Structure 1
Amino acid sequence: MREATADKLHIFIMMFLISLIMSIQAPIFTPYAAMIGASSILIGIMLSVAQLANLIGNLIAGPLVDRFGKRLFITFPLLVSGSLFIFHGLVANTAELLLLRALNGFSLAFLIPAAMALLSGYAENSRQQGKNMAVNGMLATIASIIAPLIGGKLGVMVGYANSYFVIGAALIITSIYTMFFLKDRQAVTVNRRNQSLGLIQVLTNPGLHVVFLTGFAVMYIHGVIIYEIPYLSVEKGLSTVTTGKLFSFMAIGTFFSLSLFFINRFAPVKRLIFGLFGMCMTLFALINEWTAALSLLLFLMGFFFGVIMPAMATAVTDAVAREGHGRAFGVMSAVYSLGMIFSSFVTGLIREIISPYFIAFLIGMLVLSFVGYMKLRLPRSAHTKVTTLR
């Protein structure tokens, strides 16, 4: 028992380090790419290509992780990603940076599914499973609060290229840590006599339509924020320290909403509607360039993001029987990636013509209208081997 607790602690440490190191680059990449000569459109393409490669890798990762074990697909991608980040600091042109982003997105696609699968093996029941995932979420949020501050400071102190050397070296050290301390262990053997639901059944499940639509809109909005905030350092001459602080305000808002446990007493679809509406209203304020209140607006954006994400997972488990959870969560991850892909590409394409915040606002409100309509249209209990969507 004590050994299992120590092993789980190593997983938490590893996942915290990964979240911290990966988030450090958030305020660095956009100004670095612009410095090399990338236009706003090309930066959007770079971000989209990374997400597309990640999406393809996610589809491949699942069966490989189950066949060859989780530890291998944690240690090796960390080593590869660390090396690729070091090469980020050595690029001579935008074509090389684009290639590195694609390769890095693909390599990291194996990491998170393997890490989450490894962590899930240390739960004896669903309550422990929820607790483990909640602890991981809190650690990831803490990392996302402090990492942009570190990244912004690092960019000012050592420069963008040297910052990537530091990030790469840190990932390689983390990879070495996993070689010595992570154990590929499955504490619970689950008897699955029922076959998982097929992809068509998941996609045609009316209860999941609400989740997938909301997930796409949320990640589209999130992608616009991730693109636009670092661009302030390019357009308005702000330092990366300032943009790092802005990302931290967003992470603090997410942490605050995750701490309000009473919110979980409300039905997940109601939380999805409330959170998406809040994000849309925050976007409306950003359209009007309320830059004086930018820190507050990003705090609110993070707050509503934190309301939505746990509700999304709960809505999936409510809408699909247990044997279909894996496939449903897989599709949901793919929808998240699609939202990020479209937002990065569209934002880079249109930002010289129209505010990306306005397009994100329109998409959010359109999805919100569909979700409200579908909630009214769906019967109170919709069963397709499924439990009710509250």
Structure 2
Amino acid sequence: MKPFILIIVLISFIDMFSQLPIMSPFAKSLGASPAFIGLIVGMYSFSNMFGNIIAGYWIDKYGGKKVLLAGFFLTASMLSLYIFVSTAEQLMAIRFLHGLFSGFLVPAAFTVLANRGKEGKQGKSMAVSGVAVGISAIIGPAFGGIVASKYDINWVFITIAVMMILIAICSFFILPNNNKAITRKMEPPIFTLVSILKTPMLAISFIGAFSLMFAQGVLAYMLPLQVESLNYGTQYSGMLLSTFGITAILIFGLPTNRIFDKYKHQSIMMLGMAIIGLALILLSNASTLPYLFICMVLYGFGFALLFPSITAMLVEHTDEITRGKAFGLFYAFFSLGVVVGSSLTGLLAVSFSTGFIMAACILFVYTFLLLLYFRRKKDRQNKWSDSNE
């Protein structure tokens, strides 16, 4: 069962990653201005946030399987509409709907996966799911670029739409209908979301997701510019990003994934953030190709520590009744991080060096604040224990 759920995660992310290398050229071919191209590209992540939040409430109300099936069929429908687009305005509208409906997929898939996980093994479970995410990050852009260049861009959309319909049919028969009946009265969605945000460990997980993808947004925006400024071919940008993905996959899939259940999730999270910050600082001064590859290996190591720890933290501090909404918010913060990271660096028109340092500083500041928070929390617990002796 779990391997099949990981295939679902893989296809859910391939939808997003396969369009990274083709959407900007597609928008440009329709006559969109540079500013409008940026809006078209960012519209997917913008509407995806709302899809994540809506999906979270529906998952807890109707079950992850139903939301997942609806997400696959609706997203496949939106993908099929791309082949009829003839203006930039139409493309913008499709991107909005595509992002909205695809926002149902990842929270539903991870909720189903988390609910199938064993108690005390959620860290390893989330690490293994990271393998699926990493593989999609490697093959998705390559698939989109190769198919669009050798055949036609419409075949990218058609192929993924067919894959989603097929996996939805398989999911209907394979995934169990084992959602626990809700015995307590459901709160209005806004009240539940507020209560989730007010839970300290969940708030930390959400901010960790935002910080991770803020750095990822800066990296995606700045790394190609840095490679170009060093007079290396554009293919090296893809190779560098693949290096980071391969490093993360190795840590996710090898026995090293046991560390996620051996040590505290918040400790691994802070270590991962610090390592990513260090990698970005080193990237800001990188001037040779071997040095860039070393930096990306280090970045991939930090990513591999951070992603499973924040997702496992979320699973630990939710139950099956609130987990859907929590994952919805979690991936909304993911999308927001990408939008803010890439948009802010573009608006400020900073150099790649400044952009990397800016992202690293945000990660270091957040890591320092977390250290203070957990230190004070431990001191309060020690004082409470001493007073009761």
Q: Normalising to structure 1: TM-score of the pair?
A: 0.77
**Residue 139 (str. 1) matches residue 132 (str. 2):** yes
CA contact (8 A) 2:283 2:356 kept: yes
* Inter-CA distance 57–228: structure 2 relative to 1 (3 Å threshold): same
Given the superposition, is the C-alpha separation of residues 128 and 270 from structure 1 closer, same or farther in structure 2, using an over 3 Å criterion?
Answer: closer
User: How far is 1:256 from its partner?
Assistant: 2.5
Aligned pairs for 1:194-343 (under 5 A) are: 198-229=192-223, 241-258=235-252, 259=254, 260-264=256-260, 265-292=262-289, 293-317=291-315, 325-343=323-341
Instruction: Give the CA deviation at 1:308.
Output: 0.6
Give the counterpart of 1:178 among 136, 161, 168.
Answer: 168
Unaligned runs of 5+ in 2: 382-389
Pairs aligned (count)? 373
- 2-side partners of 1:22 and 1:303: how far apart? 23
Q: Shift of the alpha carbon at 1:277? A: 1.2
* 1:57 has 2:48 as partner: no
Alignment match, 1:379: 378
- The whole-number CA distance in structure 2 between the counterparts of 1:349 and 1:46 is 16
User: Is the alpha carbon distance of 1:121 and 1:308 closer, same or farther for their aligned partners in structure 2, counting shifts above 3 Å?
Assistant: closer
C-alpha deviations, 1:127-157, integer Å up to 9, x for none? Answer: 6877765543323322323333334444543
1:27 and 1:152 in contact (8 A); partners too: yes
Report Cα offsets for 1:230-264 as digits up to 9, x if no partner. 56788888766443323211111211232313432
d(CA) in 2 for partners of 1:287, 1:171 = 39
* C-alpha separation in 2, matches of 1:336 and 1:279: 16
Larger mean Cα displacement after TM superposition, 29-38 or 242-251: 29-38
**What SS does the corresponding residue of 1:182 show, helix, strand or coil?**
helix
- The match for 1:187 is 178
Aligned-pair identity in percent equals: 25
Determine the C-alpha separation between the residues in 2 that align with 1:99 and 1:179. 27
Q: Is the 8 A contact 1:30 1:230 kept in 2?
A: no
Distance 1:16 1:211, change over 3 A: closer
Matches within 5 A, 1:91-170: 91-92=85-86, 94-119=88-113, 125-126=118-119, 133-158=126-151, 162-170=152-160
- Identify unmatched segments of 5+ residues in structure 1: 383-390
RMSD of aligned residue pairs (Cα, Å): 3.8
Query: In structure 2, how many angstroms separate the alpha carbons of the residues matched to 1:87 and 1:194?
Result: 40
Alpha-carbon distance between aligned partners in 1 of 2:192 and 2:343, rounded to the nearest angstrom: 31
* Match 2:342 to one of 341, 344, 361: 344
Q: 2:9–2:129: 8 Å Cα contact kept in structure 1? A: yes
Q: Distance in 1 between matches of 2:316 and 2:164?
A: 36
Match of 1:13 in 2: 7
Counterpart Cα distance in 1 of 2:61 and 2:12? 24
Shift of 1:54: 0.9
Whole-Å separation in 1 of the counterparts to 2:67 and 2:81: 21
Separation (CA, whole Å) in 1 of partners of 2:186 and 2:97: 34
Q: For the residues of structure 2 that align with 1:290 and 1:154, how far apart are their CA atoms?
A: 33
Q: TM-score of the superposition, structure 2-length normalised?
A: 0.78
What secondary structure, in the 3-state scheme, does the structure 1 residue paired with 2:176 have?
A: coil
> Which stretch of structure 1 is more off in the superposition, 228-237 or 273-282?
228-237
